Every structure is written in structure tokens, then in C-alpha cells.
Amino acid sequence: MILAIVLLDAVLPLSGLWFNDALLSRAGTWSLLPTQALFPNWSITPLQPVPIDPAIPSPPLAWLEIILFLTVLTTLFLLYLYALARLPALISRRHVMLSTVALGLFYALFPVVTSPDLFSYLIYARMGVIYHLNPLTTLPTQIQYDATYPYLYWIDQPSAYGPTWAAITCFLQWLALPLAGANNLLLPLLLLRLLGLATHLGSTLLIWSISGYLQPAHAEDQPGQRRRALATLAFAWNPLLLFEAAVNAHNDSTLLFLILLALWLLVRGKPVLLLYSLVTILFALAACLKINTVLLFPGLLLLLWGRGVPLRQIAFCLGLYIGCIVLLYAPFWDSGAVLDVLRVNPSASRNINTIAEFLGQFYNAAIVSHFEVTIPIIGSPGERLTHTLSMGIFALCYFWLCWRALRHSWRIRTPGGLIQWLALVWLLYCAIGTPWFWPWYLVTFFGLYALLEASGASRRWPLTLVRWRGAATLRRPLPFRLLSLTMLMLYGSYAWALHGAFMPFLPGFKLAYLRGPCAWLLPLVLTWLLDRLARRSNLGLGLPATGRSHSPPVALLIQRLSRPYRLLLQSSATEQREDRLSPSSME
């Protein structure tokens, strides 16, 4: 795993991939040693404070860099699957934590980032600590002289994150200021990466602890403990989660930690009003970090309703939730100017990395090709239509799930039922509810799914909430393992060669617009193909151990190299057998 991470570290700085400098080069050229050793004389990402166009490689070389990027990710993912197949029966919680720390530190030393949001975190924190400005209402253009400004992508909008994240980032900037000075950006950046790694480790511990309470009393046997170790390891070593926590340092890792902490209190504490109040406060803190998590709080109210809690206590929790949000936003209100972010935020009107983007751009390209008219790329009729339609479909699904949970036979009565509801809501939100989507949005879902997998509920989820025949595929971990890979590969769609290529029969339609359907549908297609291969190959490749065509050392080498593939086929077939044996519904 470490060798694969180092190889990924060497590939990411190649200039054809168009990723951003993470400023580690200011501490020395050691951060680029893997790239310089494996790819000497290749063009790399420019390391200047003023953004300039890198030396664009030739098209064949640019496509080669994309292939290298995808190949290294696939190799890393296969090693991850191999670890999940072999390690859970051999390891303890201590091993999971220490190994995750080691892997995370390697990620934290990557010289580039695949998302420039990290620099937005820095400049909003500097607004509050150095310039004493309101980061929720101030545009970065007002401090163009700041050292962070040349690295920004979003320069014309205030912080899209709430007071919880503003307080955390300002505190880290306040810690770094006396140690590194006002113009040093490297130390605050490393602190944000370490914060992401720390919250990922904290979430791993919470998943281990919560899963112990969710398992039935008779699950203390070896299979139950192995399932618990497997789910925890699958979360801790997930390349997507480690990458977003320790490289891009996205605040979704902190968001997940707050949600898991609330669930940890629910499974441990007695069902009293004080416990529900503490959980409500944690949900409010999460909403004040990213406002879209307000979609999850009704799940807590549905749990209280299912448990028969008096209406006055439910109303108290709702009032406490709203009051905490109002109280936290009050210092940043600025006569209502904080609401301007809803108008300028691209997620309110734009489509990206989704099926909605593919449909909108395909419609635009068809209109342009047929009628020979000019349609703007941003704000086109196709984009507006698919944006509204996507959110409308999600709204119907969301209200339907809430209505089902209010019915007597479908009420949420246990923390396990709440986790199933939260996981399904967030998965639907990422898939269709937000036409503006990025891979790190799935961090929260993978944390919730790890709890379902550890408790065994994933074999019945989401059929406990919906009666859709196609939902049976989602009862298995394999599609979600593949989903983490395709989401990482999504970054490759912004490489120079792929982003500038067009469909030959449809002018104006870029190949990159296929990223949404590929990222979401490819895991389902690959799962179906692996199922067929598992049935046809009888859980093996049919390679001879010895024979005239291969010498024994060569045959042994082929068997060892093919072991991750055979384990993947075996896992697919095992999941199929468990699906047939598992009950179709729970309480």
C-alpha cells in the first residue's frame, strides 16, 4: 500500500493532469523526489506563487499521463481489496489505527492537491484572524494583496461554510500565526491536513465503538468480530477517504466526525431528554459546518417519533436545533448579508460531475448541432432544466422516505434504523439531489455505510426502507468499494488531454461530460460483470500450477499476481450467496 501511495505521489505532479501546487516545495524539493526519480525531464505542475500555464505536454504524452494516473489508482484499489480479503481475521483495532496513521502521513506529504478548496479555507481563516473581516460575507477580492490570493479559484464569493468551520480554521490560523508569521502558508496548510487525518482517525474509532453496540448480543463470535474488523478497516484504509482527509483536507471529514459522535451518544446513552439534547446540538454544529446536513436532522425527529417520545420533547429538540443555528450565525449575520452566498454559490444553478450535467450538455450539443445556434455553456436552458429536475426528483424521494418513516409499520425505533435512513438519504442526495457534486461529498455516506456493514444491516439495506427490485444490488459492499475508485478517477476527467477532447459525431460535447454517468453507473456495471465472471470461472482463473506452457516459478508468479482478481471474484460470489440466504427485511 505504501509503495502504491508513493507511486501515486510521483504521478500527481505531472503537468498534463492539471493539479494544483500544495506549497510543500517551499520547504524543499524533497516532496518531488518520487516524480523526479521516476519521470525525469517530464513537465510538472508549476511551483510559482503566480499561476501560469504549465508547459503543456504533447497529446500522446498527455494521454499517457492520464493512463498512468488511472493505472496507479487501480493498482492502489486492488491492493486495498486484497487487504480487505486477508487482514480482518488477523488484525486488531490497534493495528488498524497505527497503519492508518502511517498511510495518512504519506498522503499528507503529497506535493499537490486535486482541489483548490484548501486555499479557500486558508484565506477565509486569514480574513478572520489577520484582517478582522467577516469570512461569511467578505469577498476574497477585497484582500488581493494577501499571499493566498494567487492560489484561489473562487475569488468572487464569500465562504460557503458556516460558523463551525470558520471557528475551527480561524483557531488553526491563530495557532500558526506566532510560529510561522503572517506570510507563511505552509504551516496552516499542514495543520489543515493533519486536522483532516485526525478527524478521519477519530471517525475510525467511533465506527469501531458504535459497531460494537449495534451488533446483536450473540455476535461476539468470530464471524461477528471479523465483520466488525472488516468494516472498520474498509473505512480506515479507503483511498478516497484518506485522500480527501489528508491531501485535499476537505471539511467533510470533520463533518462526518460530528455526525458519528452524535450516533455514538445515541447507542451508548439512555433515551432521556438530556441525551437527545446533546445529539441535537451536535447535529446543529454539523449544519453550521455545511448547511446541506439539515437533510439529516429530520431522521432524529423520526426516531423520537418512532420511540413514542412526547410531542413536547420533540418540539423542544426542534426548537433547540433552530436556536443553536441562529445563535451560531448571529455574529456573522451582517444585516442579512450572509444570505448572499445562496445567490453566488455555483451549486445553486450549475451542474457538474453528475448525470444532470451529462443530460444538460448532451441536450445543448444536440441543439447546437441540429439548429446551428449558439448556446452559452453556463446558464443554458438545458442546464437549468436538468438542474431543477434533479432537485425536484430528490425532493419527492426525500418526502416519501419521511412519510414512510411516519407510518406505524415503518417507524424508526432504533439507532440502527436511523443509520439506515441517514445512509439512504445521503446517498440519494449525492446521486440526484445535488447537481453540483464532488467526490468528497460521499465521505459522510461511507462513514454511515461502514456502520451498516459492521452490524450486518447492509445485507438488508435499503430494502427495509424501499421496495424497489433494483435496490437488491445495493445490499452488497462491492458496488460501494468500486464507487470509491470511480470517484477518485473522476479527478482524471479534468486532465488537459481529456478535458479538451470532443465527441467526433457530436460537436460541442466534451468527452469529460461522460464523467457523471461513468462515476455512478460503472460500479453497477462492473459488479454485474464480476458476478458473471465469478460464475463462469468457478472462483478462479483456471491457470495451471505447473505444465509445459509455464515453468513452475512463472506459474507461481502468475497465481500470486492474479490473487487480488480471484479474491474479488470470490467476494462477488460470496455476496451473492449471502444475499440469497439473508432475510429480505428487518423489524
| 318 lies in the same domain as 191 | yes
Q: Is the pLDDT of residue 575 over 90?
A: no
Longest dimension (CA), the chain: 82
How would you class 361 by CB atoms within 10 Å of its CB: exposed for 0-12, middle for 13-18, buried for 19 or more?
buried
- Answer whether 362's CB lies under 8 Å from 517's CB: no
| 376 lies in the same domain as 420 | yes
* 417-454 per-position pLDDT tens digit: 999 999 999 999 999 999 999 999 999 999 999 999 99
Q: Is the pLDDT of residue 540 over 70?
A: no
Query: Own/partner pairs for 39-48, CB < 8 Å, 24+ apart?
Result: 39/10, 39/11, 39/14, 42/14, 42/15, 43/14, 43/15, 43/16, 44/13, 44/14, 44/15, 45/13, 45/14, 45/15, 45/17, 45/18, 45/19, 45/20, 45/21, 45/111, 45/112, 46/15, 46/21, 47/21
Kindly report which listed range (294-308, 485-499, 529-543) carries the lowest average pLDDT score: 529-543
Q: Is the pLDDT of residue 302 over 90?
A: yes
Tell me which amino acid residue 399 is: F
Nearest to 478 by CA among 413, 554, 400, 568: 568
* 509-525 per-position pLDDT tens digit: 899 999 999 999 999 99
* 386-428 per-position pLDDT tens digit: 999 999 999 999 999 999 999 877 889 999 999 999 999 999 9
| 317 lies in the same domain as 418 | no
- Answer whether 512's CB lies under 8 Å from 494's CB: yes
Please, which residues have CB within 8 angstroms of residue 101's CB and are 6 or more apart in sequence? 197, 201
Q: Please tell me which residue, 258 or 345, carries the higher pLDDT value.
A: 258
Q: Is the pLDDT of residue 92 over 80?
A: yes
Whole-number Å distance between alpha carbons of 274 and 116:
41
Q: Is the pLDDT of residue 556 over 90?
A: no
Mean pLDDT to the nearest integer, 262-268: 95
H/E stretch holding 526 reads helix 515-537
Q: Is the pLDDT of residue 170 over 70?
A: yes
| 471 lies in the same domain as 450 | yes
| 275 lies in the same domain as 138 | yes
Q: Is the pLDDT of residue 140 over 70?
A: yes
Q: What is the 3-state secondary structure (H, E, C) of 230-251?
A: HHHHHHHCCHHHHHHHHCCCCC
The pLDDT assigned to 542 comes to 43
Mean pLDDT to the nearest integer, 83-95: 93
Q: Does some domain include residue 547?
A: no
Q: Does some domain include residue 330?
A: yes
| 472 lies in the same domain as 506 | yes
Q: How many domains does the chain have?
A: 3
H/E stretch holding 198 reads helix 186-214
The pLDDT assigned to 221 comes to 63
Q: Is the pLDDT of residue 497 over 60?
A: yes
Whole-number Å distance between alpha carbons of 119 and 159:
12
The pLDDT assigned to 239 comes to 98
The pLDDT assigned to 537 comes to 65
Q: Does some domain include residue 135?
A: yes
Q: Does some domain include residue 559?
A: no
Q: Which three cell numbers stand for residue 540?
A: 478462479
Domain finish residue from 322, 343, 364 = 343
pTM, entire model: 0.91
Residue reference for cell 456493514: 453
Mean pLDDT to the nearest integer, 172-187: 92
Domain finish residue from 343, 358, 379 = 343
Q: Is the pLDDT of residue 568 over 80?
A: no
| 360 lies in the same domain as 332 | no
The pLDDT assigned to 563 comes to 62
Domain finish residue from 319, 343, 367 = 343
Mean pLDDT to the nearest integer, 161-172: 97
* 95-133 per-position pLDDT tens digit: 999 999 999 999 999 999 999 999 999 999 999 999 999
| 339 lies in the same domain as 357 | no
The pLDDT assigned to 282 comes to 98
| pLDDT tier at 224, thresholds 50, 70, 90 | confident
Whole-number Å distance between alpha carbons of 26 and 570:
47
Mean pLDDT to the nearest integer, 268-295: 95
| 136 lies in the same domain as 263 | yes
Q: Please tell me which residue, 470 or 345, carries the higher pLDDT value.
A: 345
Beta bridge partners of 352: 436
* 358-369 per-position pLDDT tens digit: 999 998 888 876
What is the 8-class DSSP label of residue 20?
Answer: E
| 365 lies in the same domain as 313 | no
Tell me which amino acid residue 254 is: T
Q: Does some domain include residue 96?
A: no
Q: Is the pLDDT of residue 53 over 60?
A: no
Q: Does some domain include residue 579?
A: no
Q: Does some domain include residue 32?
A: yes
| 244 lies in the same domain as 377 | no
The pLDDT assigned to 50 comes to 45
| 331 lies in the same domain as 355 | no
Q: Could you tell me the residue range of the domain that residue 209 belongs to? A: 114-343
Q: Does some domain include residue 581?
A: no
Q: What is the 3-state secondary structure (H, E, C) of 300-358?
A: HHHHHHHCCCCHHHHHHHHHHHHHHHHHHHHHHCCCCHHHHHHHHCHHHCCCECCHHHH
